[in-house]
Structure 1
Amino acid sequence: MDLFHLFSVLIVLSALFSFINFRYLKLPNAIGLMLVSLLFSFVILIAGNYFPVFKNDIVERMNSINFSELVLEGMLSFLLFAGAIHIKIEDLRNEKLTVLLFSTISVLISTMVIGISAYYVLNLMGIEVTLVHSMLFGSLISPTDPIAVLSILKSAGVSKSLETKIAGESLFNDGVAVVIFLTILNIAKPGATVTFESVAQLFVHEAIGGLILGAIIGYAGYKLIASIDNYQVEVLLTLAIVMGGYTLAHFTHVSGPLAMVVAGLITGNKSKKKGMSDTTAEYVDKFWELIDAILNAVLFVLIGLELLVIQINKLVLIAALFILVITLITRYISVYIPSIAVRFKEKMDNNTLMILTWGGLRGGISIALALSIAPEYDKDVWVTITYVIVCFSILIQGTTIGSFAKKIQN
């Protein structure tokens, strides 16, 4: 099946599952889509006992999709830009210390604690893994995904400050986590010469380079947009910023995700305010809202369908439950420690930390990074554990965060 027909099937399934969710389940779209996709996968697995050819054909189609490449090299750039374009710089500036600490220090703490804990848990259970590969897992499971939770928190009546904290953290920590993941991946390579200077240089090149590139392409896009008044061309220019900018980041070996966040912030604030007419700004907003909705629908359908191709090991599954608990505890620790510094500047009580902990959902980027790990790095173990945590995160945390936030604030 070629790329067009494969993507057509995904769009059809996304539309059908979205209809089922909207018409009958009435769950937040991301959560509902993943639930319906999982149920669909279970039906296929059960039907496979009676019609193995049917099941094997679908599994073969799923195996033909490079989920990791599709998300990391394609969808992620659009999703991060679409998320950043709607965040107001003024709101982000008010929360700059919190967002900075949560998207860097929290990710580093989470990577270390989860990585070391997973290493000991798995080896104690007889599943042999190395520490460096466990640290890879720690880095890929650390970034949070705001997609499924922000709309729920808004309906729960949380403050604008908390919304900005969650959105800002998850936009930037995706990029930071990818940089940490790539850094550890380089360390994990056989025969790699690792020094503090080389690791620091790689990290700085990826992260700082991505931020600088994002600022350059965002500002260049602003100058082009401000020089004309035609909504069709200006929408096309925003699309060029994403696709051209991400491609440029790939070839210059800097962080594409961080570049897209910065470019999105500039486009959503400077370009919309000073370079676009009201008509153009409205079209740009609606265009990127649709792109965001469509890609997220496809992403969560894919996450649900990945159940068909994951190799399940019962012992690893049990280990995943222990690591799931560790991940939740670590999430609290990773936001609590930076919050000590934040409290010198603003009030951040334990209720806020609890909402940040339970609202720290894991999503598609974690699965994509897990699937990108080489088989010799215990890929099947990490993919299974990641899948369990992501499913729990979206289906359990995602469906309860609204009522949890309301209860804890009363």
Structure 2
Amino acid sequence: MEYYSIATILIVLSGIFGYINVKFLKLPITIGLMLITIVFTAIVIVIAQFDDTLLVREKEFISSIDFETVLLDIILSFLLFAGALHTNFNQLKVQRWPILAFATFGVSVSTFLVGTIMFYVLQLFGLQISFINCLLFGALISPTDPIAVLGILKDAGAPKKLETKIVGESLFNDGVGVVVFLTIFAIAAKPDAAIEFSEIATLFGQEVIGGIGLGLVIGWITYRLMKSIDNYDVEVILTIATVMGGTMLAHKYHLSAPLAMVTAGLIVGNDTVRDSAMSETTETYVDKFWELIDVLLNTVLFVMIGMEMLVLTLKGDYIYAGLLAIPIILLCRYVSLWLPIKFFAKRLDFVPKTTLIMTWGGLRGGISIALALSLTQEMHRELFLVITYVVVVVSIVGQGLTVEPIIKKLSKQVS
């Protein structure tokens, strides 16, 4: 199927499902769209019991979309830049050390804990999976998804300091999580080959440091170009060029595109840069444009997530393992956050119950599914894809619908 046709169908469905959500369900857009798409897919499956024409067509359509490439190579960069552009840079600067600890130490500890526990849990289902492949699952499921988090936290009413920690962590641990995943993937792909620690350190350093460095450079160049003119049309185009050109460079030189886009977005969105480089009109147009891009791509992404259900191998053991993985992942996240929060609580004013709120507010989303889709058959792709899908759906729907009342309830208890 042609790219234009695929994009057209996705946007038409997003528009229709988005209308249904706003008119009748009135749920947060990420939750509403995914629920409607899952229900739509379930109806197609029921209809297929009598006439499978529509089911066959929909399966062909889903199979024609390279979800991994579309999300990781295209959509993610735009969404991360948009998210970083509207993040409070000054608050982020104050909270930079705990956010850095969450995004590095937290992701690494969670990866190891989830991988280790799942290694033994899967054996209960008679599934003999190697430890390195379980670690791969730990790596792909540990990062919280900035797309899901940003979309749902907007209306959750979290205290600003806490919101900054959750959003900042999700923006950065995404990039770090992808690098950790790629590092473990390289080891798992060559189980019999000796891989030096220096190779792993080089890969990790090149992706992380190189990605942040690229983001700093292209963010600064964008700022200087915007400062030298006063034309909102061209300045909006410059921000688009920053994302597309920066992503292309990151892929070409094997740097972390997510970290580059987050860094560039934070620079361009910084209040100091805004005041010196953007007129009031330009600032309005830049913000509104990226808000629209954010909403559009979010709708397309979560419609795709809902439709992915059609291509899963839904075995009973796989689904049960996915349901069991949910509390395991939440527990491991709580443990991985506890030490950094304890350490920094003496230096920074943390909101009470921060560990609990961040554990429940750390949603999993499309990034985890995209990474699961990149696994090979030897890495038990079908098993981990089903487990990941179950975790993501429960995370977005279950945690997403309850994070707001939980934050409000805990805030009342504290006050």
TM superposition score category, shorter chain reference: over 0.9
Distance in 2 of aligned mates of 1:343 and 1:403: 24
Please list the CA deviations of residues 141-164 of structure 1 after superposition, one character each: whole Å capped at 9, or x if unmatched: 011124444565454432110110
Partner of 1:83: 83
Note if 1:308 corresponds to 2:310: yes
Distance in 2 of aligned mates of 1:140 and 1:111: 8
Deviation at 1:14, TM superposition (A): 0.4
Distance in 1 of aligned mates of 2:294 and 2:390: 25
Judging changes above 3 Å, is the alpha-carbon distance between structure 1 residues 146 and 213 closer, same or farther for their aligned structure 2 residues? closer
Note if 1:317 corresponds to 2:281: no
Partner of 1:245: 246
One-letter amino acid of the structure 2 residue matched with residue 272 of structure 1? R
Distance in 2 of aligned mates of 1:149 and 1:66: 24
Partner of 1:127: 127
Note if 1:406 corresponds to 2:400: no
Distance in 1 of aligned mates of 2:155 and 2:286: 25
Deviation at 1:48, TM superposition (A): 1.2
Matches within 5 A, 1:174-193: 174-190=174-190, 191-193=192-194
Note if 1:380 corresponds to 2:382: yes
Contact kept, 8 Å, 1:149 with 1:401, in 2: the verdict is no
Deviation at 1:31, TM superposition (A): 0.5
Contact kept, 8 Å, 1:28 with 1:148, in 2: the verdict is no
Distance in 2 of aligned mates of 1:251 and 1:152: 33
Judging changes above 3 Å, is the alpha-carbon distance between structure 1 residues 350 and 134 closer, same or farther for their aligned structure 2 residues? farther
Distance in 1 of aligned mates of 2:35 and 2:306: 7
Partner of 2:220: 219
Partner of 1:30: 30
Distance in 2 of aligned mates of 1:276 and 1:192: 53
* The one of 330, 333, 353 aligned to 1:331: 333
Please list the CA deviations of residues 108-132 of structure 1 after superposition, one character each: whole Å capped at 9, or x if unmatched: 1111000111111112321121111
Please list the CA deviations of residues 4-34 of structure 1 after superposition, one character each: whole Å capped at 9, or x if unmatched: 0111000000011110000000111111011
Identity rate of aligned residues, in percent?
49
Please list the CA deviations of residues 69-113 of structure 1 after superposition, one character each: whole Å capped at 9, or x if unmatched: 100011000010000011122110111112111111110111100
Distance in 1 of aligned mates of 2:269 and 2:350: 28
Note if 1:46 corresponds to 2:40: no
Matches within 5 A, 1:12-161: 12-150=12-150, 153=153, 155-161=155-161
Matches within 5 A, 1:263-278: 263-269=264-270, 270-278=272-280
Q: How many matched pairs?
A: 410
Q: Give the unaligned 5+ runs of structure 2.
A: none
Scaled by the length of structure 2, what TM-score is found?
A: 0.96
Distance in 2 of aligned mates of 1:17 and 1:409: 34
SS in structure 2 opposite 1:51? coil
One-letter amino acid of the structure 1 residue matched with residue 378 of structure 2? E
Range 126-135 or range 254-263, more displaced: 126-135
CA RMSD of aligned residues (A): 1.3
Distance in 1 of aligned mates of 2:103 and 2:172: 6
Distance in 2 of aligned mates of 1:216 and 1:125: 50
Contact kept, 8 Å, 2:187 with 2:195, in 1: the verdict is yes
Judging changes above 3 Å, is the alpha-carbon distance between structure 1 residues 16 and 140 closer, same or farther for their aligned structure 2 residues? same
SS in structure 2 opposite 1:228? coil
